[in-house]
């Protein structure tokens, strides 16, 4: 019995074959004699078979078995994989697109994840680069609400038991339907961010492909008809009528005929809906999407991976955690660190009180944890400064015990810093309104994920408003050595004050336009009243302190205002002495001063 059966369905994929085959032959840390491959060609007419033929002999020499099935008509993606996987008997099946190039450790990483998973996990999804799929996943458990079948490994027994893909869906959306059907029968799906595949599905950013447009919009209605509420189905019908009747930039020849075909298929799925309405899993519909999306759908995450891969010695990152000993929350935070794709990490864990975590940290053998307890409650700033003093990494990042990181957070920030030779980088973050049980220190409920602070860095507005959460920022330790740590008088807004002091010496901060972290705020308004008042008090104090800093405007701070290059001058010269500058520049800066800095000075 083989361990893994790979299924590859091709249709006019000639240009991708060579890279795919080379990457299959280059797989490491796996016995290829326990792996079989089946190619099924869906009646290609571009020379796919001719390009594939010379590769069969090398594949047969390395893998246990290689099959080639040629179809006389294009039966669709799901039906093709069902047919191809009927040829094998491996414990796992791997559904793979032909426009994929596998990282050398992709298969080994997926199999290792499967071996370490709970018995109720049925499928493991690889991470696609250069554009990671932006759907939300749980940064602690790595569970996903649905898994993309571009590179998806599934237990064969489960895949067979539920009947494989639904062949009613010709192309696009069949992976969502498979995922929901797996969950309907009690199975879970897991994301494996360290299993990398390069998916060359787009020739340009935000490309619209007619076949993809028809397939994805059609699948949306079919999925609504089977899994959605009546209102969701009605909305889906309206959406179809919208693209049928209202021209848009996505319009192409034959579009209306294709949409009419969608209505013909609708009835068949509607008749099956009674079976799936009792599912404990509640599918998500939002327009054309099946999951909330993080920002960064077309952010090139592959650049960071390539940058880090060239380093002879990856730098160490010190991840600084201040804790009050709230173990359930801390456990989740540390697990999100365990899941990081960048591995050269030390965790500096500072307990603001007596030591209670000596046994607790033994549960994280994969992490290099430097634990220190202050002995008594001395406050967030002292705890943070102690962490800074004990850190040995070249780069530093704070993580509060109730916040979380997506798996590529450190990878993307560090990659951006190294690529752009910077010293401070920040990413987009989710704000999660949360109800935390004060006795059990567990998350009882969560509200809607909010993407509030997704902004470019601009120095002058940043002096008045902090829009960069603490766990979003990775910085070089030289800035800490130059500027010092937290101001002990600021039990809140201490991070903003630190970032402002950093920005006096280095700016603009590098922005990673991708959601890679999460932070919590109170879920209910009355829960946050006291916290909000304290924030306001410390906001005023932080502004007062920042008003006394030796602020200096740089050319980059004024270029947008002046409409061109200007000479850098001190803020005091512009605002007080009216140093010789163009009258237009003075008026513009003074207007901005009145709007944003008036509250500081």
Is residue 406 located within the same domain as residue 347? yes
Cα separation, 597 vs 594, in Å, equals 6
Q: Per the domain annotation, does 295 fall within a domain?
A: no
Is residue 260 located within the same domain as residue 216? yes
Q: Per the domain annotation, does 283 fall within a domain?
A: no
Is residue 156 located within the same domain as residue 252? no
Q: Per the domain annotation, does 286 fall within a domain?
A: no
Is residue 47 located within the same domain as residue 77? yes
Is residue 491 located within the same domain as residue 585? no
Contact status, residue 350 vs residue 401, Cβ threshold 8 Å: no
> For strand 369-373 and strand 345-351, is the pairing parallel, antiparallel, or unpaired?
parallel
What is the domain count for the chain?
Answer: 4
Q: In the listed set 511, 531, 547, which residue is the last one of a domain according to the structure?
A: 547
> For strand 188-199 and strand 121-129, is the pairing parallel, antiparallel, or unpaired?
parallel
pLDDT of 202 higher than 80: no
Q: What is the CATH number of the domain that holds 130?
A: 3.90.550.10
Is residue 533 located within the same domain as residue 574? no
pLDDT recorded at residue 585: 47
Could you give the angle at the alpha carbon of 294 between the alpha carbons of 291 and 299, nearest 5°?
125
pLDDT recorded at residue 264: 66
Q: Per the domain annotation, does 575 fall within a domain?
A: yes
pLDDT, average across residues 307-320: 96
Model confidence over 492-548: pLDDT tens digits? Answer: 899 999 999 999 999 889 999 999 999 998 887 776 677 778 888 888 888 888 888
pLDDT of 316 higher than 70: yes
pLDDT, average across residues 451-467: 84
pLDDT, average across residues 549-561: 66
568: exposed, middle or buried (Cβ count in 10 Å: 0-12, 13-18, 19+): exposed
Could you give the angle at the alpha carbon of 195 between the alpha carbons of 191 and 199, nearest 5°?
95
Counting residues of the chain whose pLDDT is more than 90, the rounded percentage is 64
Q: In the listed set 176, 199, 222, which residue is the last one of a domain according to the structure?
A: 199
Is residue 175 located within the same domain as residue 236? no
pTM score, whole prediction: 0.89
pLDDT recorded at residue 599: 44
Cα separation, 322 vs 380, in Å, equals 7
Is residue 424 located within the same domain as residue 490? yes
Is residue 216 located within the same domain as residue 159? no
pLDDT recorded at residue 564: 41
Q: In the listed set 199, 234, 255, which residue is the last one of a domain according to the structure?
A: 199
Q: Per the domain annotation, does 297 fall within a domain?
A: no
For residue 592, what are the domain limits? Answer: 555-597
Model confidence over 31-77: pLDDT tens digits? Answer: 999 999 999 999 999 999 999 999 999 999 999 999 999 999 998 99
Model confidence over 334-366: pLDDT tens digits? Answer: 999 999 999 999 999 999 999 999 999 999 999
- pLDDT bin (cut points 50, 70, 90) of residue 574 is very low
- pLDDT bin (cut points 50, 70, 90) of residue 570 is very low
Is residue 112 located within the same domain as residue 150? yes
Model confidence over 82-127: pLDDT tens digits? Answer: 999 998 999 999 999 999 999 999 999 999 999 999 999 999 999 9
pLDDT, average across residues 414-429: 96
pLDDT recorded at residue 538: 85
Angle between helices 174-184 and 210-227 (to 10 degrees): 20
- pLDDT bin (cut points 50, 70, 90) of residue 567 is very low
pLDDT recorded at residue 464: 80
Is residue 377 located within the same domain as residue 525? yes
Q: Per the domain annotation, does 290 fall within a domain?
A: no
What tokens does 523 get? 């879920």
Q: Per the domain annotation, does 284 fall within a domain?
A: no
Element housing 103 (H / E) = none
Is residue 572 located within the same domain as residue 450? no
Q: Per the domain annotation, does 296 fall within a domain?
A: no
pLDDT recorded at residue 540: 85
Cα separation, 314 vs 392, in Å, equals 14
Whether omega before 340 lies within 30 degrees of 0, making that bond cis, reads no
pLDDT recorded at residue 592: 53
- pLDDT bin (cut points 50, 70, 90) of residue 390 is very high
- State the DSSP code for 525: G
Phi-psi region of 436 (alpha: psi -120 to 50; beta: other; left: phi over 0): beta
pLDDT recorded at residue 276: 64
């Amino acid at each position: 019995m083989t361990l893994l059966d790979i299924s590859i369905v091709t249709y006019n994929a000639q240009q991708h074959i060579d890279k795919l085959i080379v990457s299959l032959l280059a797989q490491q840390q796996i016995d290829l004699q326990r792996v079989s491959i089946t190619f099924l060609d869906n009646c290609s007419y571009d020379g796919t078979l001719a390009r594939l033929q010379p590769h069969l002999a090398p594949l047969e020499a390395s893998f246990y078995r290689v099959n080639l099935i040629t179809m006389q008509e294009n039966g669709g993606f799901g039906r093709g994989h069902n047919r191809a996987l009927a040829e094998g008997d491996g414990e796992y099946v791997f559904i793979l697109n032909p426009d994929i190039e596998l990282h050398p450790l992709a298969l080994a990483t997926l199999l290792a994840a499967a071996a370490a998973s709970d018995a109720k996990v049925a499928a493991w999804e690889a991470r696609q680069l250069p554009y990671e799929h932006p759907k939300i996943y749980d940064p602690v458990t790595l569970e996903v609400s649905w898994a993309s079948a571009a590179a998806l490994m599934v237990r064969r027994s489960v895949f067979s038991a539920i009947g494989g893909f639904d062949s009613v869906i010709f192309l696009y959306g069949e992976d969502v339907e498979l995922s929901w059907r797996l969950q309907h029968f009690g199975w879970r799906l897991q994301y494996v961010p360290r299993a990398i595949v390069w998916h060359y599905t787009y020739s340009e950013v935000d490309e619209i492909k007619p076949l993809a447009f028809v397939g994805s919009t059609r699948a949306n209605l079919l999925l609504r008809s089977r899994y959605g509420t009546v209102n969701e189905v009605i909305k889906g019908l309206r959406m179809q009528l919208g693209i049928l009747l209202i021209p848009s930039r996505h319009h192409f020849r034959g579009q209306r005929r294709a949409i009419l075909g969608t209505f013909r298929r609708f009835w068949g799925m509607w008749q099956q809906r009674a079976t799936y309405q009792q599912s404990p899993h509640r599918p998500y519909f939002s327009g054309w999407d099946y999951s909330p999306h993080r920002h960064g759908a077309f952010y090139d995450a592959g650049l960071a991976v390539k940058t880090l891969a060239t380093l002879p010695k990856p730098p160490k990152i010190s991840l600084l955690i201040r804790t009050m000993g709230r173990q359930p929350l801390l456990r989740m935070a540390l697990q999100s660190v365990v899941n990081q794709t960048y591995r050269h990490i030390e965790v500096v864990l500072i307990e603001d009180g007596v030591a209670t975590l000596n046994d607790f940290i033994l549960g994280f053998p994969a992490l290099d944890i430097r634990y220190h307890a202050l002995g008594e409650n001395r406050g967030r700033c002292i705890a943070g400064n102690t962490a800074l003093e004990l850190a040995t990494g070249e780069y530093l990042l704070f993580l509060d015990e109730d916040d979380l990181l997506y798996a590529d957070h450190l990878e993307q920030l560090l990659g951006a810093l190294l690529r752009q030779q910077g010293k401070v980088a920040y990413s987009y973050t989710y704000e999660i309104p949360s109800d935390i049980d004060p006795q059990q220190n567990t998350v009882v409920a969560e509200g809607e994920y909010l993407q509030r602070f997704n902004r470019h860095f601009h120095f002058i507005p940043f002096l008045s408003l902090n829009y960069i959460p603490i766990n979003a920022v990775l910085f070089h330790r030289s800035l800490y050595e130059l500027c010092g740590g937290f101001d002990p008088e600021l039990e809140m807004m201490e991070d903003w004050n630190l970032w402002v002091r950093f920005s006096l010496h280095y700016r603009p901060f590098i922005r990673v336009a991708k959601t890679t972290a999460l932070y919590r705020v109170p879920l209910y308004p009355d829960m946050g009243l006291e916290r909000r008042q304290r924030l306001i008090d410390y906001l005023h104090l932080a502004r007062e302190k920042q008003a006394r800093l030796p602020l200096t405007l740089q050319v980059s701070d004024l270029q947008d205002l002046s409409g061109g290059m200007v000479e850098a001058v001190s803020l005091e010269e512009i605002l007080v002495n009216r140093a010789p500058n163009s009258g237009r520049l003075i008026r513009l800066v003074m207007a901005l001063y009145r709007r944003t800095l008036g509250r500081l000075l």
